[in-house]
Structure 1
């Protein structure tokens, strides 16, 4: 069994004896409680395997209790958790906390009390709209798929065509008797996928699992995913761990989005988890994007992913608009386009951030501008008096706006969908966005601008303001892949991710030096060591993918050694103080 503990020295399987009263009841995947001799306490864990004999010498401790008769850990998910932990120099139990929701007894009892599993009937296999034979998805296929750029109305609601593509791919797997996992970074993206599936699949064939659901509802959905029948499983980053019967497809929408990066140890990116699961399961893998991530481009150039584009691509009407000295915030050309468009529909204005609370004053037609309004609100008020201004940002998100004339000011990533598409789109603050301190800034901007541009109505102008150079050309010609390939080539010359992998090691100087020395012997090189918080230091390591397993192994060993050191007594002779902590983060996105 695997003990649920964050202690790295406990990250391995333990043998326990099944009490006579539980023989025949304990099965692999069940939750149990066991005694820990060293800590003299009771710990939770999962049964990984049962056997009639053991190779452990001496007597075994008995299981303390069987928590639940419902197996919740499948062999496939355990193998995935182990692989993710090993790649990330982390603990498998930490991965399983992400993969298996908290138990809700009432939901579990209701699920166990069901008389039968719902019948499964294979649906008809739909055509994959917009793609030719190159996009045929077979078991084991690995594809980087360029998304269709339009909006479509389905059941009275407008969604991106990319959501229709994912729904069609998933239903095709159901038609073949296989399950599909569909991942999206944001709940609004998941909503679009669910709308598409509502018109292409039966409700009983679809399960949604995401962090915004009530915990009990999420656990109910997780139990449903354990059914021995094909399903379509939809969710955010943790959906890549979901149990799936006869998995045939793993598809990620917009894999370059930072929301796919897990914020809890061992910090594995959903794309990397999907890559591991695809290799283990033999399922197909699809990365669907408007602007391909640099990590995906690397896999395309290696031949590990096959790039597929629509047969008849439709590109937004991009207009490169230089800054205007007479109106530096919003050039006259962009204003003219907005003025013409506002008479027959909404206009989207994407900004880095609204920048002031005074935008709230522009709630409805005719509202005055507050004296402290920033430049955007001021310019909008002067140019379009009496026009409704709507705000959408992280604090005040809007999912949709009607066809009515309005100015929609949205921060990057918070742009609502307009019914029928926007009459015009203004992409402002491009230069400010490009000045953000990040090695991924160009890739992020390309993704943000591409996503906003695809919200325009067919033929509507999309003005990219104040941006020049190769990234502007890529947007104007809608050849993002060429720009991404150039970015990857530059990173190869600098030996920056994703052409190589990196890791950060943080802790007391002596422990960090010992750990990095071991990592260097495994093939890593130290880029720098700088002071961190609380008197610790942080080292950045760089290594090739071929050395990743060995480097992760040595760093994990260093973490275990640091955690297993004898604890010095406190000065007052009381309880022992905790040992110095050594923290390792593989593929740290904030390292460079």
Structure 2
């Protein structure tokens, strides 16, 4: 405060003179998807709300149009803006006294949305769960009660990696971690992937040092394994789970616990990256190449990118862990942003590769699998369960003409025909229409044949080939997370493989050629990840049989050299100028809006525009540019989105007063670009 502010204007002491204070203003981010409202709004704070209106709380505020009330969060409280002579609208109400929006999360949301040409409020909807009033009141009462916390055990060692990983973790460095491919038994008796134990040990070390850790995994199967590993090392009150599978009340309670000062491990799916955390010391992502880490909602920020931004802002340690390495992580390794760390002692599954689909053995004919795979399964079933990975769920998801092999299509909607279960009639997998009296439009054939066998058909054929052996199916419809060590055939789709006690006695990777047939630039990377994750579930020395695949991909799996494959993939992307070698964005909408948006970025150095090409609802163009230009491109494209949203659009004939919604959409790092 200046001397003039402290003293009265009459030259007296000023102790009893009234002091003129500028009215405080709350800067609010609105909870609105409208891009033109993606900035902070100033509101005056009524006297009755002055004690409650603090940064982070939920508020309602008036909008000038039509007297509407909008929801939002106070980002900061400041003095009224200099040079503003008008009267600020007052806050309508403070919804809750709990400051749910932390400064770190707001900064992350603002930066991540700007990088993706999106709105910060869209990310805040992912970061902050819907309010549960009853849960919040109970939590507030508990904060005033004394706590009896269980003492922490000494920090565990990071087994299997030597002192280098511990040093990098202590120094809050960034790491690309190649995990040990096996399953281990916890003290509780639960069997989990070794990767879960390693991440749990890293998180426990961080918590013992007085910091918090955030661990993000793709789905509930991974979360269950990691939760079991954490429970062996930390008290239950130091572990908080926040993911989409929880009931709303339970998830909100976990979120509120994250707001406290107690160091803890926060475990969840992709949105856990945005969780509030006291003194964040570690961010870890398991299997970042899994598409479940890709956010399907605007502004479509991948969990990996959000973690990179948050690490840079917080200075926490960062770990990307996996059995394989995505091309995105490999790029960060090659530019020196991540430190690659491998296990201290090399270990890998025993992979056998066969490209032949011979069926010399009678059992192999019945099971419709190569003889090598059948023999390995037969021998392994004497000592334990055998995992059989297939490409698709269902019974027979794809059918074709038995005469000319053309894909069988529904005569009503054009969707693919399939068979849902044994004995069922062929039907459309999209509209469900029964394919009665089907006739091939190409050759007029009337017979159908199976093209792809799903889990149901494979289980049926394996049951005939191995009579008396239990067959367990695990896919999207039947969720099995663990199996016992007794002999059984476990048929699972990729990513749905249960963990076997002691590991599988053999792993059969079927349908490799069909998986590779997908028209996607990342398909080789994805297949190697699917196969590696399944192979890591085998017990030491157990055979892992890959069928129908040869070449570099099979060699990378057999020699367990996934980083080398990722490096080769990245080199190919550089030559093609595709992500992640460059940043890319899709710009879609009606032709005029897309043309206006592209004009904004056309002159950026190194910008390369592909298209536009026609789509079902307009056109789409692809913008490719170097990482150094991406920030400017995102800002210009966001401006084009705001301009398009604010533009008046004429109502269609006969719909007076109706205003068509804007169609312009920008998506950076769009996964469809690679398909």
Under a length normalisation based on structure 2, what TM-score does the superposition of the two structures give?
Answer: 0.84
Q: 2:612 aligns with which of 517, 529, 539?
A: 529
Moved more, 137-146 or 212-221: 137-146
Q: Which runs of 4+ in 1 moved over 6 A?
A: 357-362
Q: In the alignment, which residue of structure 2 is the partner of 1:540?
A: 622
Q: 1:230 aligns with which of 263, 268, 274?
A: 263
Matched, 1:495 2:577: yes
Take 2:85 and 2:649, find their aligned partners in 1: how far apart are those partners?
Answer: 29
Q: In the alignment, which residue of structure 1 is the partner of 2:164?
A: 134
Q: In the alignment, which residue of structure 2 is the partner of 1:104?
A: 132
Relative distance call for 1:356 and 1:59 in structure 2 (3 A) is same
Take 1:181 and 1:528, find their aligned partners in 2: how far apart are those partners?
Answer: 40
Q: 1:24 offset after TM fit, Å? A: 2.0
Tell me the SS of whatever aligns to 1:26.
coil
Take 1:29 and 1:377, find their aligned partners in 2: how far apart are those partners?
Answer: 54
Q: In the alignment, which residue of structure 2 is the partner of 1:347?
A: 386
Tell me the SS of whatever aligns to 2:223.
helix
Take 2:599 and 2:268, find their aligned partners in 1: how far apart are those partners?
Answer: 41
Q: 1:139 offset after TM fit, Å? A: 3.9
Q: 1:321 offset after TM fit, Å? A: 1.7
Matched, 1:69 2:97: yes
Tell me the SS of whatever aligns to 2:76.
coil
Give CA deviations for 1:374-415 in whole Å, capped at 9, x if unaligned.
Answer: 573464234212211111111112101111211111111111
Q: In the alignment, which residue of structure 2 is the partner of 1:368?
A: none
Q: 1:176 offset after TM fit, Å? A: 1.0
Q: 1:148 aligns with which of 166, 180, 185?
A: 180
Tell me the SS of whatever aligns to 1:110.
helix
CA contact (8 A) 1:140 1:278 kept: no
5+ residue gaps, structure 1: 363-370
Matched, 1:205 2:238: yes
Q: 1:405-416, aligned counterparts within 5 Å?
A: 405-416=487-498
Matched, 1:338 2:371: no
Matched, 1:474 2:556: yes
Matched, 1:18 2:41: no
Give CA deviations for 1:117-168 in whole Å, capped at 9, x if unaligned.
Answer: 7466554111001011221212430000110111111112110111010110
Matched, 1:300 2:333: yes
Q: In the alignment, which residue of structure 2 is the partner of 1:365?
A: none
Q: 1:356 aligns with which of 388, 391, 395?
A: 395
Under a length normalisation based on structure 1, what TM-score does the superposition of the two structures give?
Answer: 0.95
CA contact (8 A) 2:218 2:293 kept: yes
Take 2:600 and 2:110, find their aligned partners in 1: how far apart are those partners?
Answer: 22
Tell me the SS of whatever aligns to 1:539.
strand
CA contact (8 A) 2:153 2:233 kept: no
Tell me the SS of whatever aligns to 2:387.
strand
CA-based RMSD: 1.9
Matched, 1:514 2:596: yes
Q: In the alignment, which residue of structure 2 is the partner of 1:46?
A: 73
Which of these two proteins has the greater Rg computed from alpha carbons?
A: 2
Relative distance call for 1:108 and 1:459 in structure 2 (3 A) is same
CA contact (8 A) 2:152 2:234 kept: no
Q: 1:155-554, aligned counterparts within 5 Å?
A: 155-326=188-359, 329-356=368-395, 376-377=458-459, 379-523=461-605, 524-534=607-617, 536-554=618-636
Q: In the alignment, which residue of structure 2 is the partner of 1:29?
A: 56
Q: 1:513 offset after TM fit, Å? A: 0.7
Q: 1:325 offset after TM fit, Å? A: 3.5
Tell me the SS of whatever aligns to 1:591.
helix
Q: 1:25 offset after TM fit, Å? A: 1.9
CA contact (8 A) 2:38 2:121 kept: yes
Q: 1:522 offset after TM fit, Å? A: 3.0
Take 1:354 and 1:221, find their aligned partners in 2: how far apart are those partners?
Answer: 34
Give CA deviations for 1:47-86 in whole Å, capped at 9, x if unaligned.
Answer: 0001233234411000011111111000000000001110
Tell me the SS of whatever aligns to 2:292.
helix
Number of residue equivalences: 583
5+ residue gaps, structure 2: 1-27, 397-418, 424-448
Take 1:571 and 1:39, find their aligned partners in 2: how far apart are those partners?
Answer: 25
CA contact (8 A) 1:139 1:282 kept: no
CA contact (8 A) 2:394 2:421 kept: no
